[in-house]
Every structure is written in C-alpha cells, then in structure tokens.
C-alpha cells in the first residue's frame, strides 16, 4: 500500500471513528441545558419537541398528559455527533424530527459546550455519559443515532447496558473496530502527529473533507470553530481511545432494529458489510455522492430513510 493511500485511509478512519401524532406539525424552539454525570462532567444538550407537547423547549415537571399537554407516543431520538463535532451539526434532523418526536442532541464530553476534563476520552466512558443523558432526561424508549466516533460509543453503550430501553440503533458512517496492520499503525502515529503539530491547518482540512456537496462558507467556518472548541490534547486522547478500542464482538448484542448508513467508495466498505452481518437483521443503506457528513450532504434522503426506519419500529 502506498504512503498516499495509507494517509487517505487514515483520513477516512478518523472521520469514521472519530402512526403520526395527533398534533400540529410544528416545532418548539430547541434549547440547551446540561446533564451532570457521576464523575461531575456536565454534558450539554439541545432538545426540541412537537409544539404543545410536555417536552417543548425543556423537560416539564408536569406528568405526561396533564396541563393540556399532548403526550408523545413515538420513541425519543438521541443524536450523538462524531469526533470534535457539536450537537447542532444535527440541526437538519432536529428541525425535521422534532415535529413528531422528542429529540435530543449532545455535545459529548470534551466537545462543544460540555465539560472538558482531563480524562474519560474513550468509547466506554463516553457511552456512560450517553447513559446519564438517557436516564436523567427519561428518554426511554429511545433510538440512539451515532455518527463516526459516535458509532463505537453507541456500540459500547449496548456492550455495557444492553438494549433495555432502546427502541432502535442507527449507526452512521462509523465502525466498531478493525484489524490494523503494522504499516497502518505506523502511519496512524504520523497522522496523529500532524494533528498535534498543525492543529489549525489540520482542522480546516478535516472539516472540509467531511462534505462532498458544496456547503455555505459561513457554515463551514462555524463547524471549524466548533471543532476547535475541543482542546488539542483532548482530540489526541479521543483518537488514541478510538484506535485502541474494538467493540465488534458487541455488535451481536444489538437485538433491536438497526440501521447502518454509509458513504460508500472508501476503504471501509467491507467493514460496514461485516457490521451488517454481525448485527441480527441490520439494514445497510449507502449514500452515493455524499460525504462523511451524509446527514448534511443528503439530509432529505437521510431524514426520509430514518422516518421509514422509525415507522417500522415495533409499537
């Protein structure tokens, strides 16, 4: 394998790992708040729900169905972004799905407005953060949607806590693990070094590589700025946590409906196919012409596919 191809593969690897309601189709404005984890980390989240529901804006203290609120019968959805990305990168999904579902998107620890402690930057720890959000916000039954590095974190959630309380799992352009060879491991070290030594240049290239379709420049700059909210030391720790984790064995434990969405054409196509085989009954959908951030590049297709997935969940 040539050095150029190895670096291309590493770029992709980092991108990867790293019944309708009887309410008007209106959305309450999304609003942010925090959940505190057992180790004192504050996880920032955005939340939006159908207008008129109990959960509009933020969690209400009133019991479901009281005070004139319209109860939400659909499962909630929790969106987990990838490496250094903010909760709001799911904005097109928040706007769309909060018409019919209670929707929450998080800044994982070390990212966005969440706490940036000195440790806890590996999939198992960040999966425990997800669990804290699910439990404290009472999201069950919930569909977990993880992208890129969010994929091994969602899989780690299942590894540690099982699927009780989950309505479904959606894995977006990320893998649970792979078999790196010595040549690739050597290149990974060099790749991580570039991130440490040239953070600004690296981040701009990384963000731009997430998209294959033109995006407004102000939007790209906003994503770059959000990515830089993650300290360089934290970003490096997350990378190390990712490459040292292999959760493929846990895929067989996903016994709820599962959807895998990928941007095909990269070196990981066979890995995605292997994931599908490991998850009983998993559905694999490929987004031709979309980049790593396929839920942005092909938002309409992604939203329609997720709508279909949600409609087929057991009631």
What was the pLDDT predicted at 112? 97
Q: Token pair for residue 235?
A: 């970003």
What was the pLDDT predicted at 12? 47
Per-residue model confidence as pLDDT tens for the chain (315 residues): 554 544 454 454 444 444 222 223 333 345 679 999 999 999 999 999 987 666 654 433 333 344 444 566 799 999 999 999 999 999 999 999 999 999 999 999 999 999 999 999 999 999 999 999 999 999 999 999 999 999 999 999 999 999 999 999 999 999 999 887 787 778 778 878 889 999 999 999 999 999 999 999 999 999 999 999 999 999 999 999 998 899 999 999 999 999 999 999 877 899 999 999 999 999 999 999 999 999 999 999 999 999 999 999 998
Q: What is the pTM of this model?
A: 0.87
Strand (E) or helix (H) holding 133? helix 123-136
What was the pLDDT predicted at 1? 52
Q: In 3-state terms, what secondary structure has residue 261?
A: strand
With a CB cutoff of 8 Å and minimum separation 6, the contacts of 148 are: 15, 16, 17, 18, 81, 82, 83, 85, 172, 173, 174, 292
Q: Token pair for residue 302?
A: 């992604």
What was the pLDDT predicted at 268? 81
What was the pLDDT predicted at 57? 45
Q: What are the contacts of 47-50 at 24+ separation with CB within 8 A?
A: 47/102, 47/103, 47/104, 47/105, 47/137, 48/94, 48/95, 48/98, 48/103, 49/98, 49/101, 49/102, 49/103, 50/21, 50/23, 50/24, 50/25, 50/26, 50/98, 50/99, 50/100, 50/101, 50/102
What was the pLDDT predicted at 18? 44
Contact 99, 25 (CB under 8 A): yes
Q: What domains does the chain contain, in order, with CATH numbers?
A: 3-311 (3.40.50.1820)
- What is the end-to-end Cα distance of the chain in Å, rounded? 49
What was the pLDDT predicted at 51? 77
Rg over alpha carbons for the chain, rounded to the nearest Å, is 19
What was the pLDDT predicted at 243? 86
What was the pLDDT predicted at 71? 63
* N residues, the chain: 315
Q: Token pair for residue 190?
A: 């060099």
Task: Give dist(CA 24, CA 56) in Å, integer.
Answer: 13
What was the pLDDT predicted at 60? 33
- Per DSSP, what are the bridge partners of residue 48? 103
């Amino acid at each position: 394998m040539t050095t150029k191809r190895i670096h291309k593969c590493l770029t992709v690897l980092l991108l990867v790992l790293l019944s309708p309601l009887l309410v008007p189709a209106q959305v309450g404005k999304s609003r942010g708040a925090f959940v505190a984890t057992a180790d004192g980390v504050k996880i920032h989240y955005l939340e939006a729900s159908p207008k008129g529901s109990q959960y509009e804006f933020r969690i209400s203290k009133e019991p479901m169905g009281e005070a004139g609120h319209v109860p939400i019968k659909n499962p909630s959805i929790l969106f987990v972004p990838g490496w250094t990305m903010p909760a709001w990168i799911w904005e097109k999904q928040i706007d769309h799905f909060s018409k019919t579902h209670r929707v929450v998107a998080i800044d994982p620890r070390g990212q966005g407005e969440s706490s940036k402690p000195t440790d806890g930057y590996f999939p198992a720890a960040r999966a425990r953060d997800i669990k804290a959000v699910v439990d404290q916000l009472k999201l069950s039954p919930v569909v977990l949607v993880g992208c890129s590095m969010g994929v091994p974190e969602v899989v780690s959630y299942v590894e540690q806590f099982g699927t009780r309380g989950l309505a479904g799992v959606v894995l977006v352009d990320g893998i649970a693990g792979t078999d790196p060879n010595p040549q690739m491991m050597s290149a990974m070290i060099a790749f991580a070094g570039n991130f440490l030594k040239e953070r600004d240049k690296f981040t701009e290239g990384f963000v731009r590589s997430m998209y294959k379709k033109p995006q407004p420049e102000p939007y790209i700059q906003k994503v770059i700025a959000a990515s830089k909210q993650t300290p360089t030391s934290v970003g490096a720790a997350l990378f190390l946590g990712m490459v040292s984790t292999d959760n493929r064995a846990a895929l067989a434990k996903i016994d709820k409906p599962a959807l895998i969405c990928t941007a095909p054409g990269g070196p990981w196509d066979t890995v995605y196919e292997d994931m599908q085989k490991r998850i009983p009954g998993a559905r694999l959908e490929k987004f031709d012409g979309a980049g790593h951030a396929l839920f942005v590049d092909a938002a309409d297709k992604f939203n329609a596919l997720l709508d279909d997935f949600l409609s087929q969940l057991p009631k």
